[in-house]
Structures are given as structure tokens and as C-alpha cells.
């Protein structure tokens, strides 16, 4: 056979068409998310209380946005925020597979004919719209049009492949269902769109380049490959979110395992239920019927899998909890009060002494957080910042426990000086909690902005900032020590650090300005972040001085605190 | 099965009976949990040790939406709802049993994770001499397939575990 294939036309048509398809999907999905996202999220939050509703919600959302990946990414976000549980998400994930069949059904129409009108109308609406929502509707139509147009381009460019032996041999090798599944999985994982894979096989089969059986096997593979998106999304997320992604993989792999031996039967069933097109030659009829047969087979196996597995959501949950166990509760995550002994409430003086010891533990913890904050803030690592952010919760918990205990002490009969001590200790606990908050929110937010803007602290700035950080940490440590030991001299020393730290801050700020004037463009973002960091550290120093002042304000005779 | 009202009954490891450690009772706000808390409070007073009431925030696989059983703002995280349920549970139990001092001064704790392993982890971290837990009796096939959190805790815990059944007030099983 004479080979007269135009490689340039083939590859540009194929990849250009695929690029338009993916860009169109992206445009359409983005517009749909903006236009209907809030409603979809509300539906998801409200209606996932029983598994059948979950399936319905998953199918609806996926059907509307045309992407099961979007549904799973939304789910992961919800689970990470604690709004939805992994067990609730299982049925939604199952529903998402059903929803994804809508796209295949739409693509099986001879959609390429509508592509240019859709693009024209979409652009017109988006251009004329004076409200965002209409612009989004315009983009949806434009996105749809581009998807169809991309499919048309791929289809036209690949038509000559029919007479290209290497390609027909490759497709023939896919008669082995395992090979076809593998190709479907890998291709979908790489382009991150099962709709694109389905679109391509519909188009190839329509050109007579692929049998229905091979197309079904590739579509099954696409179901596995589509899990890759959720898999990438959950990196660094809480365990529950990771479990949801694993459920997605398990369900889709199990579904494929169920069908892999029955592909010919599934193909026969699809042929049986798909209306035939009369009055055409065999080859033309085949080309006209096969896209719908693929879409129908895709719909059948996805609905059948959900029906098959919906009764086993509990077992899925158990299995996935076994596969993905919890991270260990470290001593840091669990900071139970050690000195807040209820039996001491009858002797308030001793109870207050023990509160000082407990504040010492909180102070030590917050000081530790501050020590870890600077390396995490300059490491440019999101993971380090996640860890730092999580450290705030135990501090919050212990702070709450201390306040609750102080509340109980306040109900007992206190002397005037004990009453004042109680107020001051509550202030100290609050200030320590504020320090933890400033670390977990302000320092983390500033560092995240630096990561996004890709600016690092210049080495010349790093050293003085680290020195300032060291001074602030020392002030915090000493002020807490002053409260724990009821040591006024030490508290006064912390108060006296004001001048020294003030000078240091001024010096660093003036150096930053100098750097800005020498490299005004490149240095502006870096300068803003640097000043922000210095202000946060200064804020923490002020809180440390307030703690020392609280100590100085009280003249106490509470008795010796009991040691553990 | 042993009557758990007799605190001298000991499982593996034994209970010291001194003021070391804090007794841990794990709750899911059920009727069985309430009985477990009452039993644990009496036991803590008897042993002269503190009491920690723990709830592990985890949506059970068998009944998803555990924390959303009432009409609530769906944008509130589950941990918040769990804390509210814990507050109500404690308030009601304390009001019904004002004489139990260990209950009045017990520390309430919430952690997220898988219930059985988290309960044992927390128990180890606070040197609990004993874990007390309510049992929701499952029967038949569900029991064979799923077991219960209490059974898992018994398997995992290095310290004695008391399983309290709500409908036989005051009775418990020491494993």
C-alpha cells in the first residue's frame, strides 16, 4: 500500500484539536463553576446525608460541569475543611461516574456541525454581556463550541490513518483488553480528562479505525486514569481527604475488574439497545452507529457499577481506613492540661499557682512554635507552613482549658489580691494564644504570599531578621518564665528590652529601604514582605512585653505552686 | 462477664488504684456512653484519679452524616458540631448527676481520626489506668462484618478496658 500520509497535517490536527478540546473543557467548566458553583456546593453540603441522595448529587454536579474531576476536587476541599466526611463522599464519587456519562452522550451526537455556531454565539454573548453571569454563559457556549471544534479537527486529521499500517497494527494490538485499558488509563492520567479520551475514541471509531470492544476497554481505562486528578489534589491534605481519593481509585478499579471479562457481552448489549440507522451502506452505517454504542456502553457500565457497589459503601469506608491509617497523634497535637487539678479548687492560692505552671507549659509550646516559625517561613515550602498552621490548635485547646479552670477558681471565695492575680493570669493566657495565632496566621500568610510571588528574603536581610527573631523569642521565653516563677526582676528585664529591640527593628527597616532604592523594581515585593515580617515579629515582641507587664502589675502572696 | 460495679475486678495490667494517670472514658453521646461516663466517674472517685471524657470526631461508615442529624448551618465544620454535642451531653449528664464530683471536674477532649486507634493513643498519652467505653450492641450479620469500636479498643489497648452496656444499668465487662 502506498503511503502518502501528510505527517504535518496529521500531528498539528491531532494535537491542535486536542489542545482546543481541553481548552474548551477548561473554559466551559470554569464558567459553569463560577455561574453555578455556590449552588452546587450548597447542594453538596445539604443533600449528602443518605447514600442515594449522594449518588444523585454526584451525578447532577458532574453532569452539569461535565467533569468528574471537578466534583472530586470540590469534595476534597469540603472534606479538608471538615464540612463533609469521607463516608459521605463515597456515594457522591459513585454518582460522579454516572454524571460523567452525560459528556460521552453529548459527544456521540454529530456535534462538530454545531461547533462554529456555538463559538460565534458564545463570543457574541460574552462580548455584549454587561453582567458577569452572562459573560459566564457566553464562555460556556464558547467552551462547548471549542470542544466540538477540537473533536472535528482531530477526526479530520486522523482519517488518513486508516491506510497507515503502523497505526492499524497499534489499534489491532489493543484488541487485548488489558492493553487497551492500560492505554486508556495512561492517556487520561496524562491529559487529566476522561472526556477527552472518550471523545477521541468516539471519533476514531466513527472513522472506522477502532472496534466497539477496543473503545469500551479504553473507556474503562479512562475511568481509572481520571482518578489521577484527585490523587494530585490530595497531596498534603488531611487523611480523610486522602481516603476519599483512594475510594475513588478503589471504586473505579473494582468497576473495571468487574467488566474486564465481559467486554464482548457489554458490546453486544450496547449494540442491542442502540437504535440502528437504516438506508446506509454497511461501512457508513457502522460509522454512524458506533459513537452512540460507545456512549451507551459507557453509561451502562457506570450505572451498573454504582448499582452494584452502592450497598457496600460501609465496606469501602472500612477498607480505605485500613489502607490509609491516621497520622500519629504527636505529643504536640495533644497538649492536655497537666496541672489544672480540680481537687485543688478548694485552695485557690494553690490552684492559681498551678495555673502559672500550666501557663508555663503553654508558653513553652508557643515559644517552640515561634522557634519553628522562622525556618518554616523562609523555607519556601508549603508543607512546612501547613505543619506550622496545625500547631495552633493544641495551643487553642490548652488556652481554653486554662480559661475554663480560671473560671472555676473565680467561683470560689477569693481574696482581692487573688482576684487580681486571676485576671492577670487570664490576660497572660490570652496573650500567649494571640502569639500562637500571629504565628499560625500572620507569619504563615506572609510566607505563602512570598511563595506565590516567588520572592525569597535576600541573604543580606535574612541575618538581621533572624537576629530580631532570636531576640523576640528570648523576650517571650523570659516573660513566661517571669510569670511561672512569679519573678518581678525578670519581668522588668523583659520590659527593658524595648529600647534594644526597637533600635534593631529600625536598623533592619532602614537597611531594607536602602536595598529597595538600589533595586526598586525587583526588590519591591521582597521589601513589602520583609517589612511585613518585621512588623509581625514586633507585634509578638509587644505581646511578650504585655505578659511581663501583667506579671509586674500583680503583687502576690499565693503560696508555692505544687510541682507535678 | 463481670459486674463492673466491683472495682477490685482487674483485667490485664491491673489498676493501680493510686492517683497516677487519668481514667479515660470514650463517648459517642449515646445512651450507652452516658452509662459509661457514670460508671467511669464513680470508678475515678474510687481510685482517686482524674477523668477525661473523649470523643473521636469521625463520621461512622454505617451512618454517614452523624454530626448533621439536626438542621444546622451546613457550612459549620463537623468538629464544631461535635464540640456542641459534647457540651450538651456533658451539661445534661452533669445536671442529672450533680453529686458525682469526678464528672463535674472531668476534662472533655475532642480529637479527629479513627475511633479505636485514637482512643488507645490518647489513653497511652495520659497514662490511663483504664479505658471505659459504651457498647452499642450490634447483632447478626452487621456484627460479623463490622464488629464494634469497643471490640477494636479491647484488641488494641494494652490496659484494661471496661465495656458498659446501657440497658443493663451499672453492668460492664472487664476485658
- Measured N-to-C along each axis, helices A212-225 and A239-259 cross at an angle, to the nearest 10 degrees, of 170
Q: Do A401 and B107 touch (CB under 8 A)?
A: yes
Whole-number pLDDT of residue A480: 93
Give the integer Cα–Cα distance in Å for A307 and A150. 34
Q: Do B59 and A334 touch (CB under 8 A)?
A: no
Mean pLDDT computed over every residue of chain B: 76
Please, what sign has the CA dihedral across residues A232, A233, A236, A240? negative
pLDDT digits (tens, 9 = 90+) for B49-106: 889 999 998 888 777 777 766 555 566 677 778 878 888 898 899 899 988 888 888 8
Q: Give mean pLDDT, residues A79-93.
A: 83
Show me where the domains of chain B are located: 22-174
- DSSP letters for A162-227: GG-HHHHHHHHHTTSHHHHHHHHHHHHHHHT-HHHHHHHHHHHHHTT-S-HHHHHHHHHHHHHHTH
Joined together, the cell numbers standing for residue A316 give 469501602
Q: Which fold has domain B22-174?
A: Rossmann fold (3.40.50)
Q: Give mean pLDDT, residues A342-354.
A: 80
Q: Does B70 touch chain A (CB under 8 A)?
A: no
Contact between residue A407 and residue A512 where contact means Cβ atoms under 8 Å apart: no
Which chain A residues are Cβ-neighbours of B67 within 8 angstroms? 85
Helix and strand numbers (H, E) in chain A are 23, 0
**What is the least distance, in Å, from the CA of A11 to any CA of chain B?**
48
Give the integer Cα–Cα distance in Å for A182 and A228. 14
3-state secondary structure of B3: coil
Which chain B residues are Cβ-neighbours of A339 within 8 angstroms? none
Which chain A residues are Cβ-neighbours of B58 within 8 angstroms? 85
Kindly state the percentage of chain B with pLDDT values over 70.
71
Q: Do A331 and B125 touch (CB under 8 A)?
A: yes
Query: Which range has the worst mean pLDDT, A125-129, A459-463, B89-93?
Result: A459-463
Q: How many CB pairs under 8 A join A and B?
A: 89
pLDDT digits (tens, 9 = 90+) for A395-414: 988 898 899 889 988 988 88
Whole-number pLDDT of residue B172: 44
Which chain A residues are Cβ-neighbours of B84 within 8 angstroms? none
Q: Do A85 and B104 touch (CB under 8 A)?
A: no
Q: Is the pLDDT of residue B41 over 90?
A: yes
pLDDT digits (tens, 9 = 90+) for A22-64: 888 788 877 877 776 667 666 776 666 677 888 988 898 888 7
Whole-number pLDDT of residue A175: 79
Give the integer Cα–Cα distance in Å for A173 and A167. 10
- A107: Cβ contacts below 8 Å, ≥ 6 apart: A147, A151, A195, A198, A199, A202, A291, A295
Q: Provide long-range contacts, Cβ within 8 A and 24+ apart, for A121-125.
A: A121/A145
- Most confidently modeled range among A23-32, A259-268, B2-11, B107-116: A259-268
Which chain A residues are Cβ-neighbours of B79 within 8 angstroms? 82
Whole-number pLDDT of residue A47: 65
Show me where the domains of chain A are located: 7-323, 342-553
Other residues' Cβ atoms within 10 Å of the Cβ of residue A113: 10
Q: Does B107 touch chain A (CB under 8 A)?
A: yes
As beta bridge partners, residue B107 has B52
Q: Does B19 touch chain A (CB under 8 A)?
A: no
Whole-number pLDDT of residue A41: 66
- CA A242 to chain centroid: 10
Better pLDDT: A202 or B171: A202
Strands ordered across the beta sheet of B50-57? B107-112, B50-57, B22-26, B131-134, B161-164, B172-174
Whole-number pLDDT of residue A285: 73
* Residue in B with minimal Cα distance to A564: B20
With residue B70 as reference, give the H or E element that holds it.
Answer: none
Q: Do B64 and A48 touch (CB under 8 A)?
A: yes
Q: Is the pLDDT of residue B3 over 50?
A: no
Predicted confidence band of residue A388 (pLDDT cuts 50, 70, 90): confident
Mean pLDDT computed over every residue of chain A: 83
Q: Give mean pLDDT, residues A366-388.
A: 83
3-state secondary structure of B106: coil
Q: Is the pLDDT of residue B171 over 60?
A: no
Q: Does A411 touch chain B (CB under 8 A)?
A: no
The CATH architecture annotation of domain A342-553 reads Up-down Bundle (1.20)
- Most confidently modeled range among A1-10, A165-174, A251-260: A251-260
- A543: Cβ contacts below 8 Å, ≥ 6 apart: A431, A432, A434, A435, A438, A476
Q: Does B118 touch chain A (CB under 8 A)?
A: yes
With residue A269 as reference, give the H or E element that holds it.
Answer: helix A263-273
- CA A297 to chain centroid: 33
Smallest Cβ–Cβ distance between A83 and the set B64, B74, B125 belongs to B74
Whole-number pLDDT of residue B17: 36
- A131: Cβ contacts below 8 Å, ≥ 6 apart: none
Whole-number pLDDT of residue A4: 63
Q: Choose the mutation target among B113, B143, B147 for the interface with A, i.e. most A CBs under 10 Å.
A: B113
Angle at A404 between CA A399 and CA A408, to 5 degrees: 145
- Most confidently modeled range among A218-232, A452-466, B128-142: A218-232
Q: Do B146 and A88 touch (CB under 8 A)?
A: no
- A282: Cβ contacts below 8 Å, ≥ 6 apart: none
pLDDT digits (tens, 9 = 90+) for A184-223: 999 888 877 788 888 888 888 888 888 899 999 999 999 9
3-state secondary structure of A493: helix
Give the integer Cα–Cα distance in Å for B33 and B59. 17
Which chain B residues are Cβ-neighbours of A240 within 8 angstroms? 112
Burial class (CB in 10 A: 0-12, 13-18, 19+), A293: buried
**What is the least distance, in Å, from the CA of B55 to any CA of chain A?**
13
As beta bridge partners, residue B54 has B26, B109
Q: Does B75 touch chain A (CB under 8 A)?
A: yes
Contact between residue A487 and residue A440 where contact means Cβ atoms under 8 Å apart: no
Whole-number pLDDT of residue A564: 33
Q: Do A82 and B118 touch (CB under 8 A)?
A: no
Which chain A residues are Cβ-neighbours of B50 within 8 angstroms? 341-342
As beta bridge partners, residue B134 has B164
Amino acid at each position: 500500500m502506498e503511503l502518502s500520509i501528510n505527517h504535518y497535517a496529521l500531528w498539528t490536527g491531532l494535537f491542535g484539536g486536542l489542545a482546543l478540546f481541553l481548552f474548551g473543557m477548561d473554559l466551559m467548566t470554569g464558567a459553569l463553576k463560577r455561574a453555578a458553583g455556590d449552588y452546587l456546593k450548597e447542594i453538596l453540603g445539604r443533600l449528602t446525608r443518605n447514600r442515594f441522595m449522594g449518588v444523585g448529587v454526584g451525578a447532577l454536579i458532574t453532569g452539569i460541569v461535565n467533569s468528574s474531576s471537578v466534583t472530586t476536587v470540590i469534595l476534597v476541599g469540603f472534606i479538608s475543611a471538615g464540612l463533609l466526611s469521607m463516608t459521605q463522599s463515597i456515594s457522591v464519587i459513585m454518582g460522579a461516574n454516572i454524571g460523567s456519562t452525560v459528556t460521552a452522550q453529548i459527544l456521540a451526537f454529530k456535534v462538530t456541525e454545531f461547533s462554529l455556531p456555538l463559538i460565534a454565539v458564545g463570543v457574541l454573548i460574552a462580548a455584549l454581556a454587561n453582567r458577569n453571569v452572562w459573560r459566564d454563559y457566553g464562555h460556556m457556549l464558547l467552551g462547548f463550541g471549542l470542544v466540538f471544534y477540537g473533536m472535528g479537527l482531530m477526526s479530520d486529521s486522523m482519517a488518513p490513518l486508516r491506510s497507515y499500517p503502523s497505526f492499524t497494527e497499534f489499534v489491532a494490538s489493543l484488541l487485548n483488553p488489558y492493553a487497551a485499558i492500560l492505554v486508556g488509563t495512561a492517556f487520561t492520567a496524562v491529559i487529566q480528562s476522561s472526556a477527552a479520551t472518550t471523545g477521541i475514541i468516539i471519533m476514531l471509531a466513527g472513522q472506522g479505525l477502532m472496534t466497539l470492544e477496543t473503545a469500551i476497554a479504553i473507556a474503562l481505562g479512562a475511568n481509572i486514569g481520571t482518578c489521577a486528578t484527585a490523587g494530585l489534589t490530595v497531596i498534603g491534605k488531611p487523611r480523610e481527604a486522602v481516603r476519599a481519593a483512594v475510594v475513588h481509585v478503589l471504586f473505579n478499579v473494582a468497576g473495571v475488574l468487574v467488566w474486564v471479562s465481559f467486554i464482548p457481552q457489554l458490546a453486544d448489549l450496547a449494540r442491542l439497545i442502540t437504535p440502528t440507522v437504516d438506508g446506509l451502506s454497511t461501512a457508513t452505517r457502522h460509522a454512524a452507529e458506533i459513537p452512540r454504542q460507545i456512549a451507551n456502553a459507557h453509561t451502562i457500565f457506570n450505572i451498573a457499577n454504582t448499582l452494584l457497589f452502592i450497598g457496600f459503601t460501609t465496606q469501602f469506608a472500612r477498607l480505605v481506613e485500613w489502607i490509609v491509617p491516621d497520622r500519629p497523634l504527636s505529643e504536640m497535637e495533644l497538649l492536655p492540661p497537666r496541672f489544672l487539678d480540680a481537687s485543688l479548687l478548694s485552695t485557690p492560692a494553690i490552684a492559681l499557682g498551678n495555673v502559672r505552671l500550666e501557663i508555663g507549659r503553654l508558653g513553652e509550646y508557643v515559644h517552640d512554635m515561634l522557634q519553628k516559625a522562622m525556618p518554616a517561613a523562609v523555607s519556601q515550602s508549603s508543607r512546612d507552613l501547613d505543619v506550622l498552621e496545625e500547631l495552633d490548635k493544641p495551643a487553642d485547646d490548652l488556652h481554653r482549658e486554662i480559661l475554663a479552670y480560671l473560671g472555676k477558681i473565680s467561683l470560689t471565695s477569693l481574696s482581692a489580691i487573688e482576684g487580681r492575680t486571676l485576671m492577670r493570669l487570664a490576660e497572660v493566657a490570652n496573650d500567649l494564644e494571640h502569639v500562637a495565632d500571629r504565628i499560625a496566621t500572620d507569619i504563615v500568610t506572609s510566607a505563602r504570599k512570598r511563595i506565590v510571588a516567588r520572592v525569597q528574603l535576600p541573604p543580606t536581610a535574612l541575618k538581621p531578621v533572624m537576629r530580631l527573631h532570636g531576640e523576640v523569642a528570648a523576650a517571650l521565653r523570659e516573660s513566661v518564665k517571669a510569670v511561672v516563677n512569679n519573678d518581678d526582676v525578670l519581668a522588668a528585664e523583659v520590659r527593658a528590652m524595648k529600647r534594644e529591640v526597637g533600635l534593631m527593628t529600625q536598623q533592619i527597616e532602614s537597611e531594607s529601604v536602602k536595598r529597595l532604592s538600589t533595586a526598586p523594581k525587583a526588590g519591591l515585593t521582597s521589601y513589602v514582605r520583609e517589612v511585613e515580617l518585621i512588623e509581625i515579629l514586633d507585634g509578638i515582641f509587644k505581646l511578650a512585653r504585655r505578659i511581663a507587664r501583667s506579671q509586674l502589675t500583680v503583687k502576690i502572696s499565693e503560696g508555692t505552686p505544687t510541682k507535678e | 462477664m463481670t459486674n463492673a460495679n466491683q472495682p477490685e475486678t482487674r483485667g490485664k495490667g491491673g489498676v493501680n488504684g493510686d492517683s497516677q494517670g487519668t481514667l479515660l472514658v470514650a463517648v459517642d453521646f449515646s445512651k450507652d456512653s452516658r452509662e459509661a461516663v457514670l460508671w467511669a466517674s464513680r470508678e475515678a472517685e474510687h481510685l482517686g484519679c482524674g477523668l477525661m471524657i473523649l470523643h473521636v470526631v469521625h463520621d461512622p461508615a454505617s451512618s454517614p452524616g452523624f454530626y448533621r442529624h439536626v438542621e444546622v448551618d451546613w457550612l459549620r465544620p463537623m468538629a464544631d458540631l461535635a464540640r456542641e454535642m459534647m457540651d450538651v451531653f456533658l451539661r445534661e449528664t452533669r445536671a442529672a448527676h450533680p453529686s458525682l464530683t469526678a464528672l463535674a471536674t472531668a476534662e472533655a477532649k475532642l480529637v479527629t481520626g479513627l475511633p479505636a486507634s485514637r482512643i488507645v493513643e490518647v489513653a497511652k498519652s495520659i497514662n490511663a489506668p483504664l479505658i471505659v467505653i459504651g457498647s452499642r450492641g450490634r447483632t447478626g450479620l452487621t456484627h460479623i462484618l463490622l464488629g464494634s469500636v469497643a471490640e477494636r479498643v479491647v484488641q488494641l489497648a494494652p490496659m484494661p478496658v471496661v465495656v458498659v452496656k446501657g440497658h443493663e444499668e451499672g453492668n460492664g465487662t472487664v476485658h
